[in-house]
Structure 1
Amino acid sequence: MEKNLAALSAQNDSLLDMPAPAASAASPLRSWLSVVSVAIGAFAFVTTEFLPVGLLPQIASDLGVSPGTAGLMVTTPGIIAAISAPGLMLGAGRIDRRFILLALSILLLTSNLVSAFAPSFGVMLLGRALLGAALGGFWTLALATAGRLVRQEHAAKATAMILSGVTFATVIGVPLGTFISGLYSWRASFIATGALAAAALAAQAFLLPALPSKAAIRFSDLRALLSRATARKSLLMVALVFGAHFSSYTYVTPFLAENNFSLSAITSVLLGFGFVGFVANLAISTAVTRHLQASLFAMVTILLAALATLPLVHASPAAVAVMVLAWGVAFGAIPLCLSIWLQLSSPDLPEAGSALFVSIVQVAIALGSFTGGVVVDAVGISATLWLGGLLALTSLAVIASFGMGNKKLAEILAK
């Protein structure tokens, strides 16, 4: 085990010691196309999950709720996904993972259609709950199977490609949803994401190979992983970082609107946020396994600086735009860093590790957006940026507690 972990730390692309039967049975091109199909699914899921961020004022006004209450559209799927991530994997047994991914894509499509035609906020939350039920299982499987779709030495690149769906969603998905809402209505935006979900379903049905499970995940696997002190501390770090981001990002559109940004300007800023995040994801993917801790520490530091500075420069549109772009750089790289960190924490239990990672991320999204909503309604939007900054500062302390500059981080994380 220690020998394998040392190799993981030394090689940029080798992440998981797991079989890749699908990759060996398919041509290299088809293997990479199967990764692309999952990346399209990631794009569809993330676009759907965070579409309300760009539409919050319109939906709140149309359905008769406050902006803070409207934030439940982000909180609800997060709570459900936190339960479904480990729950689905425990119940899936040894069912072919391809069939599960297809079923989850169908559920995503259903969620979008329910949301698009919701006559009330309660029905909207039902649609968002359906999203949460699919979301947890999708990310657990997407991250755990990335290395099975291609050759083992390309596992890191496959993971980065799938996670690029996150940044593509912020580059194109969320801003495009805001743009469509401006042209037509927020309902048209959900119809558009429904079409995107249908495209992801078709791509996966055609391109994904069979993904038989080698062993069913058991509750004892989750318990074994949580018994490791470094794994628990790693999950705490993940919760703090994602909580820092989503306690603030959920309300970035109202913040920009409050500071005299027009709808077109908000769309442009969100587009820039996603674009720089996409570039950051690509840039860091080549070095992240060699300099994982330093990369993560640097990105969270940038996140902290952006969140702490935004309330201070709110009177300057140019300064606000620059800080939001810096925020985009940080969060564009953070999911890949944290995903690989958790993979290194559980090389012997990849699906259990992915399930707990996704569950903690969704808890952080739910609690972050909910707490941010409470702060927004009680104090104001700027205050939730300070809250995010405090959580980011705390997460830096946890990252540093692993010992900065340690060249054998992989061995430490697997203890």
Structure 2
Amino acid sequence: MAQTQEIAGVAPGVPRPRRGGWPAVAALAGATFTVVTAEMLPVGLLTPIGGALRVTEGTAGLTLTVTGLVGAVSAPLLTPALGRFDRRPVLCGLMAVLIAGNLLAAWSPHFAVMVAARVLVGIGMGGVWAFGAGLAVRLVPGTSVGPATSLVFSGIAVASVIGVPAGTYIGELADWRTAFLTVAGLGLVVLSALAVLLPKLPAEQEIGLGGVMRLVGDPRVATGLGVVALLVTGHFAAYTYVRLALEEISGASAPVVGTLLLVYGVAGVLGNFAAGAGASRCPRGVLLVISLVLAAAVGLMPLAGGSVATATVLLAVWGLSYGGVSVAAQTWLLVAAPGAREAGSALFVGVFNGSIALGALVGGLAADGSGIEAVLYLGAALAVGALAVAALGRAPGGGRR
């Protein structure tokens, strides 16, 4: 209960806004779903994008890297730049930028235009995530903060289950440009919902860029960010090449791989809500469990994943554990910096997206240099590192206990 009260705290002297309640929380969940779907959309469309824009698939993959890196940089910069404005028009404006990026991507006649479009998507994605992730605490009563935060972050997990596969399916049914147009249309629906359902949300506390970066000096914040960096880097080092692992280690065919990834995604959604319920009471405990279980599931894949049956179990456990990373880590930072929630969220988004790019990079180097099993062991080792940081570092509430 003490942790929940800390999360629900409002900066001194700032009046409580009129609550938007659960409909507003649902609109924020729609926003996180949309921005993550937009970020990851090229994953299933690299071949047709490359063919249409006359670049290799590897070059087309830069559309994902650029968006992640721009999101990592823009989130900490947008927070102080827009910090004095009401959050409702800020979120609507950032969603409009995301829509513009997807429209431009759908029109792109050349790869350079596509890169510019993905820069816009990165700006919108980083800003919406940074400003929206911590708003649930201002929309519902304190006792509902945990479930509301879980619902906001469920958009991330659901995007991996529905958003990206749906975009890929649309690309196959029509073409890749239609997939980007569809996400732009979804963004327009979400923008309208945010404008209608969010109450006025005046700035709680204006923080400059120096204030955002000084948060890193807080050992509780630094510990939380360190755990995020290790877990997300480790996960994406391994998960980027999960299809190859399932084919080479488990002997799974392409249709079976698709089913297994669906199992992973569903488990991730369940893990999100399970972690959210526990993190509101003890974020350190939840992240310790996540780190341990993730390390075990990924590390056992080369050893025990030789059949489709055991691979299914391990992948489900993997999804269940990783599904809780976002909400548990965000809750840690909300408690660690209750007076600077948006600054903490901005750092979280920056570290998270930077770690996605780093994980894909180091995973690729390991795969090329030592093979797929080395990639999985690397992911497990980084999760063990996260376990050590969470156990030994400073946690919200004080101490190393």
TM-score range, shorter chain: 0.7 to 0.9
Task: Find the counterpart in structure 2 of residue 18 from structure 1.
Answer: 10
Structure 2 runs not aligned, ≥5 long: none
Letter in 2 for 1:411: G
Alignment of 1:373-412 (within 5 A): 373-376=364-367, 380-402=371-393, 409-412=395-398
Alignment of 1:208-287 (within 5 A): 208-253=198-243, 255-256=245-246, 264-287=255-278
Deviation string, structure 1 residues 350-402 (Cα, Å, up to 9, x no partner): 22211111111121112222333444455555543333222212111111213
Q: For structure 1, which segment, 140-149 or 178-187, has the greater mean C-alpha deviation from structure 2 after superposition? A: 178-187
Residues 175 and 267, structure 1, Cα contact 8 Å, conserved in 2: no
Q: 1:8 aligns with which of 2, 13, 19?
A: 2
Structure 1 runs not aligned, ≥5 long: 1-6, 404-408
Letter in 2 for 1:199: V
Q: 1:158 aligns with which of 143, 148, 164?
A: 148
Cα shift at 1:131: 1.4
Alignment of 1:37-52 (within 5 A): 37-52=27-42
Count of aligned pairs between the two proteins: 398
Q: For structure 1, which segment, 354-363 or 217-226, has the greater mean C-alpha deviation from structure 2 after superposition? A: 217-226
Q: For structure 1, which segment, 388-397 or 222-231, has the greater mean C-alpha deviation from structure 2 after superposition? A: 222-231
Is 2:185 the partner of 1:195? yes
Distance 1:116 1:388, change over 3 A: farther
Alignment of 1:288-367 (within 5 A): 288-312=279-303, 316-367=307-358
Is 2:99 the partner of 1:109? yes
State the TM-score, normalizing by the size of structure 1. Answer: 0.85
Q: For structure 1, which segment, 372-381 or 74-83, has the greater mean C-alpha deviation from structure 2 after superposition? A: 372-381
Q: For structure 1, which segment, 47-56 or 207-216, has the greater mean C-alpha deviation from structure 2 after superposition? A: 47-56
CA distance in 2, matches of 1:71, 1:382: 23
Residues 79 and 132, structure 1, Cα contact 8 Å, conserved in 2: yes
Residues 68 and 377, structure 1, Cα contact 8 Å, conserved in 2: no
Distance 1:293 1:227, change over 3 A: closer
Deviation string, structure 1 residues 234-255 (Cα, Å, up to 9, x no partner): 2122111111112232343455
Letter in 1 for 2:140: V
What is the SS of the residue equivalent to 2:323? helix
Distance 1:109 1:253, change over 3 A: farther
Q: For structure 1, which segment, 236-245 or 213-222, has the greater mean C-alpha deviation from structure 2 after superposition? A: 213-222
Residues 63 and 118, structure 2, Cα contact 8 Å, conserved in 1: yes
Cα shift at 1:137: 1.3
Cα shift at 1:80: 0.8
Letter in 2 for 1:385: L
Deviation string, structure 1 residues 177-234 (Cα, Å, up to 9, x no partner): 2333343444433333222222211211221221111332123422432222332232
Cα shift at 1:44: 0.5
CA distance in 2, matches of 1:410, 1:119: 50
Deviation string, structure 1 residues 281-305 (Cα, Å, up to 9, x no partner): 2223222232322221222222222
Q: 1:173 aligns with which of 150, 154, 163?
A: 163
Letter in 1 for 2:74: S
Task: Find the counterpart in structure 2 of residue 369 from structure 1.
Answer: 360
Deviation string, structure 1 residues 259-288 (Cα, Å, up to 9, x no partner): 765554443333222211111222232222
Distance 1:154 1:306, change over 3 A: same
Residues 37 and 160, structure 2, Cα contact 8 Å, conserved in 1: yes
CA distance in 2, matches of 1:310, 1:64: 37
Residues 10 and 16, structure 2, Cα contact 8 Å, conserved in 1: no
Identity %: 36
CA distance in 2, matches of 1:413, 1:193: 45
Letter in 1 for 2:347: L
Alignment of 1:6-155 (within 5 A): 8-9=2-3, 11=4, 15-18=7-10, 25-26=18-19, 30-56=20-46, 59=49, 69-155=59-145
Q: For structure 1, which segment, 241-250 or 368-377, has the greater mean C-alpha deviation from structure 2 after superposition? A: 368-377
Distance 1:284 1:314, change over 3 A: closer
Cα shift at 1:41: 0.7
Distance 1:398 1:66, change over 3 A: farther
Distance 1:160 1:395, change over 3 A: same
Letter in 2 for 1:239: A
CA distance in 1, matches of 2:56, 2:65: 15
CA distance in 2, matches of 1:124, 1:372: 26
Residues 81 and 133, structure 1, Cα contact 8 Å, conserved in 2: yes
RMSD of Structure 2 on Structure 1 (CA): 2.9
Residues 303 and 330, structure 1, Cα contact 8 Å, conserved in 2: yes
Letter in 1 for 2:7: L
State the TM-score, normalizing by the size of structure 2. Answer: 0.88
